[in-house]
Structure 1
Amino acid sequence: MAVDASTQQSGAEPSGVGDPRSDTDTRPSGGSGPRSGADTRRSGVAVESSDVHARQIAGLDALELADRRKSGLASRIWSGLWPVVSALVLVLLIWQGVVLAGWWPEYVFAGPVTTLTELADRLGEAEFYQAVAVTMRRALVGFALAIAVGLVVGALVSRIRPLRRAVGSLITGLQTMPSIAWFPLAILLFGLTESAITFVVILGAAPSIANGLIAGVDYTPPILLRAGHMLGLRRLSLYRHVILPASLPSFLAGLKQGWAFAWRSLMAGELLVIIANQPSLGEQLHFARELADSPGLLATMIVILVIGIGVDLLFGAADNALRRRWGLHQVTN
């Protein structure tokens, strides 16, 4: 009775007791209860549709990946071999055609059969492998030193504006200068020693490596530099963690070009600087020319060409790995 009296005095009914609206007015205002159910059904259909599309796309990706797994290795080997084999056959046919034309006698310009026979005989000699080992050792040592010099010069020139104005054009001038022009000075400085060859190899390769690094630094996005500064990176740490990774494509191109200059400089040096008891590929070229040994000369040239192609394939693999790491490999396929 106290409850009824208080209720009557307040003019309100007790909530949830005897109120018919308590069962029906629990939905949000505006009568959105039925619409929320429709929205739920629509969202469910949309989610189901997106799931179907996702499964379809995943299925297509799986088919594509499965096809690549099945035919990837064989197709890659074949796609890499047939252009090389075709070019090799074409070169041999042209070579044999020039020999058959009789423009030069056989002892001046040997045919492919004679040359390949001479090359096969040399592959069984220990002196041949010793010559290859000496040449490759000189090439690797000189190229490693050129990388060190190019890194230091490129890093300093790319970040110090007065230094870049002073020696920026000089680096390009050194790059375009023929390597053989340095040998008279190198022989005067170091004599007929390996130091003279290494000196010219460094001067031939370092400018290209430095220019590659400078170009990479120039094309580094400024936002990366600002992010590095915000993270507290300065000087060497900024180069190590930001600038060098961002400039890797241009730097790799500079390395590849630097190797080409280093290899040509080395061959020129070994032709001019003959060191006793140190056989090399350049020395074999020199003596084959002196003795008019056309098959031996051409066989050595083939070895030099094959080594150059092998190194180029290594640089190509490094470039493919870099593009794959950056997510660019699908663009070129």
Structure 2
Amino acid sequence: MSALAQQASEPTVKADKLRLPKTSLDSVLAPVITVIVLLSLWQIASWAVPIRSDLFPGPGAIVAKLPEMLDNGSLLGAVGTSLFRALSGFLLAVLIATPIALLLAHQPLLRKGLGPLISAMQVLPSIAWVPAAIILFGLSNATIYMVLLLGAVPSIINGLLSGIDLIPHQYRALSQVLGADKRQHIWHVELPAALPGYVAGLRQGWAFAWRSLMAAELIAVGGSLALGVGSLLQRGRDLADLPLVILVILVILLVGVLIELLCFAPVERKLLRDRGINRTGGKNV
């Protein structure tokens, strides 16, 4: 019977091996083809629509703007400044949000008091904090980081709390049976078990941090602030330079996509693989 079972399983294994490259290829080709089609339609529309080219530039006009921005160094400098602010601010948000979430998870009364406030802050548009931050700190990096932190911290807190809430109660009993103290339980049991929710919170926190940063840089311009991507977007608006505005928007989008593909997507795949879960949410057999 075991030999028959092995022979019966061999075609399935071979079929899975044959399907995997095709699936990987499709996952790359599908977005590329979609982007090519959309860019082609955009270019055709810019030729066909009877609107001035400066009011409806096609992809060609956007690409033609790129060498100019690269030559004067403003684009790369702005991207570097914004990325440094975003990454350093996001790391600071993680360091602030993680202990707060753990504290709320183990203090039910405190969570009942602060939980609704944190959720309300997550809903509040981050751009609403910019005027208050400018009044408090002026046109300085402190303004940028205040808006970024207020945008990212609530999402990270709620993500970790959600992950902890989904941990089975038996884990606590098992830790006690094995003689683990509270610190050991949190470090060796609670945090690893809450990782899916925590990573989801980190992903959302990064999205809020990046959007908050763009909003802050768009409004807080001048003073001691270095030129960021949002500031470059504002410059394009002041100059009525629509190709520059669209180019900066595409750069903002590209940075967000690259961070997702290079950081959060691999971590999510590893978490699912370690837990025996496939992409559709079912268990691997």
Aligned counterpart, 1:281 = 229
Partner AA of 2:10 in structure 1: G
Match of 1:294 in 2: 242
In 1, Cα distance between equivalents of 2:237 and 2:50:
19
**Greater length-normalized contact order (CA 8 Å, ≥ 6 residues apart):** 2
Identity of aligned residues (%): 35
Task: Decide whether the 8 Å contact of 1:153 with 1:210 is kept in 2.
Answer: yes
Alignment of 1:174 with 2:121, yes or no, is yes
| Counterpart in the other structure of 1:306 | 254
Please say if residues 107 and 294 of structure 1, whose CA atoms lie closer than 8 Å, have aligned partners that are also in contact: yes
Q: In structure 2, what is the equivalent of residue 251 of structure 1?
A: 198
For 1:320, give the aligned amino acid. Answer: R
The higher radius of gyration belongs to: 1
Where structure 2 has 5 or more consecutive residues not aligned to the other structure, the ranges are: none
**What amino acid maps onto 2:4 in structure 1?**
H
Greater mean deviation of Cα atoms: 176-185 or 85-94 = 85-94
Aligned-residue offset at 1:125: 4.5
Task: Tell me which residue corresponds to 2:62.
Answer: 115
The one-letter code sitting in structure 1 at the alignment partner of 2:276 is G
Select between 251-260 and 172-181 the one with higher mean Cα deviation: 251-260
Encode CA deviations 1:256-311: one digit per residue, 9 max, x unaligned: 11111111100011111224572221121111110111111111111111111111
Structure 2 residue 6 is the aligned partner of structure 1 residue 55: yes
> In the alignment, which residue of structure 2 is the partner of 1:322?
271
> Which aligned pairs between 1:4-23 and structure 2 lie closer than 5 A?
none
Q: Given residue 96 of structure 1, which amino acid in structure 2 is its aligned partner?
A: Q
1:330–1:127 Cα change, 3 Å: closer
Counterpart code for 1:325:
D
**What is the RMSD computed on CA atoms of the aligned residues?**
2.2
**2:166 and 2:208 mapped to 1: Cα distance?**
24
User: Unpaired runs of 5+ in structure 1?
Assistant: 1-48
Partner residue, 1:45: none
Tell me the amino acid that sits aligned with residue 248 of structure 1: L
Tell me how far 1:146 sits from its aligned partner: 1.1
**How many angstroms does 1:120 deviate by?**
4.2
Equivalences for 1:33-182 in 2 at 5 Å?
49-50=1-2, 52-57=3-8, 59-60=10-11, 63-64=14-15, 67-68=17-18, 72-73=20-21, 75-100=22-47, 102=49, 104-182=51-129
2:245, 2:58 → 1: CA distance? 12
Decide which moves more: 195-204 or 95-104: 95-104
Is 1:242 the counterpart of 2:193? The answer is no
SS in structure 2 at match of 1:329: coil
Q: Which moved more, 1:314-323 or 1:167-176?
A: 314-323
* Counterpart amino acid of residue 55 in structure 1: Q
TM-score (norm: length of structure 2)? 0.90
Alpha-carbon distance in structure 1 between the residues aligned to 2:14 and 2:28: 26
Q: Do the aligned partners of residues 62 and 106 (structure 1) sit closer, same or farther apart at CA in structure 2, a change above 3 Å counting?
A: closer
CA offset digits 1:167-187 (Å, max 9, x no partner): 111111000001011111111
Would the alpha carbon gap of residues 129 and 76 (structure 1) be closer, same or farther in structure 2, given more than 3 Å must change? farther
CA distance in 2, matches of 1:114, 1:173: 42
**What amino acid sits opposite 1:243 in the alignment?**
E
**Which residue of structure 2 lines up, in the alignment, with residue 21 of structure 1?**
none
Would the aligned equivalents of 1:108 and 1:292 in 2 still touch at CA under 8 Å?
no
1:148 CA displacement:
1.4
Q: Does 1:225 align with 2:172?
A: yes
Amino acid in structure 1 at the alignment position of 2:55: V
Distance of 2:24 and 2:249 partners within structure 1: 26
